[in-house]
């Protein structure tokens, strides 16, 4: 078979289709994949960075619960006194998802994999290895709060709020200082910007810590007054309220002052 010059050119192009020209869609896709940051070494780096950020957020949340959890439970206990009045009893506290025991165990039931944070006033929280949180108060602590006046109970909520603000300022301030130091070392921040960042993180921690603990006291007072029961449910009202309020207040702070 004899091919015309045009046919020979067409036949040659058809055999050479596996080697696309620079202007072809296939070549553009190949170049895009070759330079894509989602695969290869760069992709592994980005995945590692994303995982690192996730781990940091998880650790920050765990530290927040560990440091602000006791003030939240204290605020909840005094808030329950405001809601239930002098009739406060262990059954009312247990409706908040807080266990009332004659004595607080020296370690969590999960063993060495759990963290037990004790307070001197008969309040404790246990952080389980699976992420669960359990709050415990002693019977003597409940009786002591029940004997308080409403004014003293309100002062107890304010005292717990200050403790939450201090804990938030210390934890977030320390993380802010580390973040500012890294930015300063990399040349991404000036000394003034680094100082502002550390100050902003400290202020954010104080606002979120104090307001979220106060919210735990308010929610506990409302539940104790209305008789809503969370007995047996996997929820600790002061801790859950503190966490949810902290997230909402933190987002509001970031919208106003920047993240």
Q: Domain residues of the chain, as ranges?
A: 64-250
Coil, helix or strand at residue 136: strand
User: What is the C-alpha to C-alpha distance for residues 97 and 130, in angstroms, rounded to an integer?
Assistant: 18
Give tens-digit pLDDT for 24-77.
343 344 344 444 444 444 554 444 444 455 556 666 667 778 889 999 999 999
pLDDT class of 115 with cuts at 50, 70, 90: confident
Give tens-digit pLDDT for 195-250.
999 999 999 999 999 999 999 999 999 999 998 776 555 689 999 999 999 999 99
**Does residue 79 surpass a pLDDT of 90?**
yes
Task: Give the H or E element holding residue 82.
Answer: helix 40-84
CB 50 within 8 A of CB 188: no
User: What is the C-alpha to C-alpha distance for residues 225 and 48, in angstroms, rounded to an integer?
Assistant: 49
Structure tokens at 250: 């933190």
Give tens-digit pLDDT for 137-177.
999 999 999 999 999 999 999 999 999 999 999 999 999 99
List C-alpha distances in Å: 32 to 21, 23, 24, 28, 40: 15, 13, 12, 6, 13
User: What is the C-alpha to C-alpha distance for residues 13 and 20, in angstroms, rounded to an integer?
Assistant: 10
């Amino acid at each position: 078979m004899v091919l015309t010059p045009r046919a020979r050119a067409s036949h040659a192009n058809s055999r050479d289709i596996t080697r696309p020209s620079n202007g072809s869609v296939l070549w553009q896709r190949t170049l895009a994949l070759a330079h894509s940051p989602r695969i290869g070494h760069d992709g592994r780096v980005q995945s590692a960075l994303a995982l690192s950020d996730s781990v940091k957020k998880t650790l920050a949340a765990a530290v927040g619960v560990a440091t602000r959890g006791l003030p939240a439970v204290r605020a909840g206990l005094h808030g329950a006194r405001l809601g239930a009045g002098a009739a406060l009893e262990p059954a009312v506290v247990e409706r908040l998802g807080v266990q009332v025991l004659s004595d607080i165990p020296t370690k969590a039931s999960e063993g060495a994999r759990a963290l037990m944070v004790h307070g001197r006033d008969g309040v404790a929280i246990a952080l389980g290895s699976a992420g669960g949180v359990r709050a415990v108060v002693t019977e003597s602590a409940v009786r002591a709060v029940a004997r308080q006046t409403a004014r003293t109970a309100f002062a107890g909520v304010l005292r717990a709020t200050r403790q939450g603000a201090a804990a938030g300022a210390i934890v977030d301030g320390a993380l802010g200082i580390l973040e500012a130091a890294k930015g300063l070392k990399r040349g991404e921040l000036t000394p003034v910007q680094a100082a502002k960042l550390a100050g902003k993180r400290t202020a954010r921690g104080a606002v979120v810590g104090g307001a979220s603990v106060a919210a735990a006291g308010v929610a506990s007072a409302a539940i104790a007054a209305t008789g809503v029961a969370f007995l047996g449910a996997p929820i600790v009202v002061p801790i859950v309220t503190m966490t949810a309020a902290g997230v909402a207040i933190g987002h509001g702070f970031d919208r106003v002052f920047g993240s």
